[in-house]
Amino acid sequence: MCHDENTGKINTFTLERRIIYWKRRTENVRSVMASISQCQICSKLDKSVPADKRSMDCEHFLCNGCVTVHKESRVSQPHRIIDAETLTLPKQCASHPKLTLDFFCTQHDILCCEMCISDNHRTEIKDRVVKEENDIVRKIAKLKESLIQQLDDMENIIRSELQDARKNAVKLLENEKVDSKKSVSKLEKYLTQLDVFTKKGSDPHVFLLLHELQPIVSEENGCLENIVPNLSEPRLIFLEPNQNFVEGKWLGSVTIKEENFAIASVSKNGDVTGLTTDSNDNLVIISRDRLLSYSENGKYINECKLGGDAWDVSFHSTSGNVVVALQENGIQLVNNFTPGRVVKCKNAVWGVLSGNENIFVGDTKGNLHIFSSELRHLKALKIGRNDFYYVHYRRNKIYISEPISDVVHCINDNGSPIFNFTSSTLEMPNGIATDRPGNVYVVGCDSNNIHRLSKNGKKSEVLLGPVDGLKDPSAICFSKDYSKLFLSNEDGASVYVYECQY
């Protein structure tokens, strides 16, 4: 009854508001039903008369007498009259007898108790939540597919850029190669012609040819001088995105970065006598009166001119300086390839090594000089009789090569001998280095080999020899992580690099 009267209004409510609304309506009906035993018209006249009927239009409970009057009135004559007993509502829930029917569910159009509301009449909320969950899952899956497709598209774009960049880099190198080859081919042609005239022609013919070739060679030489400094080293660079790729719609890009490929002129006679590595693991070498730096891949980095012809070099890790042994003048500090002051020594010096905060220098009289990091002379130790070519320091042990005597000395910090090493297969010992476990590597200059000694010097083996291409080797050193071994070979004309495995 109440549901029919307010259908349009109730449908606009939420479920919770519907339940509250119909609970109040049910309470109102029950309040009215409490007065169903009395005629409402007679009650106004202070009469207590049982009610037998109810007018559905004016909603009054009436006794039989008032019903007669009600029907006789022209206004109330059309009203519908029903027996009051038909309005009796059930009070107890059929499913839960202990609970009263206090609620009305508009979804199922039924009276219900509090337990029924919780168990059976909130399913639409659960169904709605489940439906919303499924909708969100579908949206997430669709977004994922869209992102994957977007990533695939961006990957294809950047791969295409990478291929184009590689082709351009290769083309650049090929063009430079062609230009250089043209000049070299011309010079080789003239050189062959000159060689023929020199061997078979007369002096006048050679003179005329030289006179003719002079401007041509000068021109080609000028071309090469212009080409070499401008040689480029193209590198493929990946520019990563600096923003969210979903918002930026890109994964980065590939471009070519050109770097000048510098070529340092090196003496034809080589003369690389000293090797060490700096804090960046760059290779630092001595070549006569020059200090040069190369990357571990052989790329030239820097150089400077020293205060005289040098023999050996060492990196002082505490100060960051490079210490150089000048054969006639003493020792010199170099900071960031800026030559510093020179400290004179009494005798000519050869080997130099930094270790334990000090600097160790070997001279030509069998003495080992110890300097502070500021080049203050601390003391001299008499160890041998002849030139000390190279000095090495590792774990409180000092290793010294004495080539003329064919001996390697090992002493402690105080100069006390630990062992001396000699071998019939070791001639003219030069450079000394130690690997990661502490084994000692000694270069044999005249024996053209490298010996590996145990830590105590009691065991030894020839690691590399002439069959490995060694000829007049001298200086030796390891990279900082001991993964590479550098060796000055062929009387200093080349530097060999070996990969080390432990």
Inter-residue contact 232 to 260 (CB < 8 Å): yes
Instruction: Convert the pLDDT of each residue in 305-320 to its tens digit.
Output: 988 888 899 988 878 8
pLDDT value, residue 345: 81
pLDDT value, residue 450: 93
Inter-residue contact 465 to 475 (CB < 8 Å): no
Laid out side by side, the sheet with 272-277 consists of 272-277, 283-287, 290-294, 300-305
Amino acid at 299: K
Q: Which of 319, 347, 345 is nearest to 333 (CA)?
A: 319
Q: How many CB atoms lie within 10 A of CB 394?
A: 17
Instruction: Convert the pLDDT of each residue in 190-239 to its tens digit.
Output: 778 777 777 776 777 777 777 777 777 777 777 766 666 666 666 777 76
> What is the SS3 assignment for 262-287?
CCCCCCCCCCEEEEEECCCCCEEEEE
Q: Is 395 left (phi over 0), alpha (psi -120 to 50) or beta?
A: left
What is the DSSP annotation of 4-54?
A: HHTHHHHTTS-HHHHHHHHHHHHHHHHHHHHTTTB-HHHHHTT---B--EE
Residue 437, SS3?
A: coil
Q: Which of 191, 357, 164 is nearest to 255 (CA)?
A: 164
Instruction: Convert the pLDDT of each residue in 333-347 to its tens digit.
Output: 898 888 888 888 877
CA dihedral 112, 117, 121, 124 (to 10 degrees): 150
3-state helix, strand, coil in the chain (%, to 5): 35, 30, 35
Q: How many CB atoms lie within 10 A of CB 218?
A: 10
Amino acid at 451: H
For the whole model, what pTM was predicted?
0.48
Which residues on neighbouring strands pair with residue 100, listed in sequence order?
92
Q: Which of 418, 421, 306, 416 is nearest to 368 (CA)?
A: 416
Percentage of the chain exceeding pLDDT 70? 80
| Cα 9–chain centre separation | 66
| Residue ranges of the chain with per-residue pLDDT less than 70 | 1-37, 86-91, 106-107, 121-125, 201, 224-234, 239-270, 502
What is the DSSP annotation of 356-393?
A: TTEEEEEETTSEEEEE-TT--EEEEEE--SS---EEEE
pLDDT value, residue 5: 37
pLDDT value, residue 474: 92
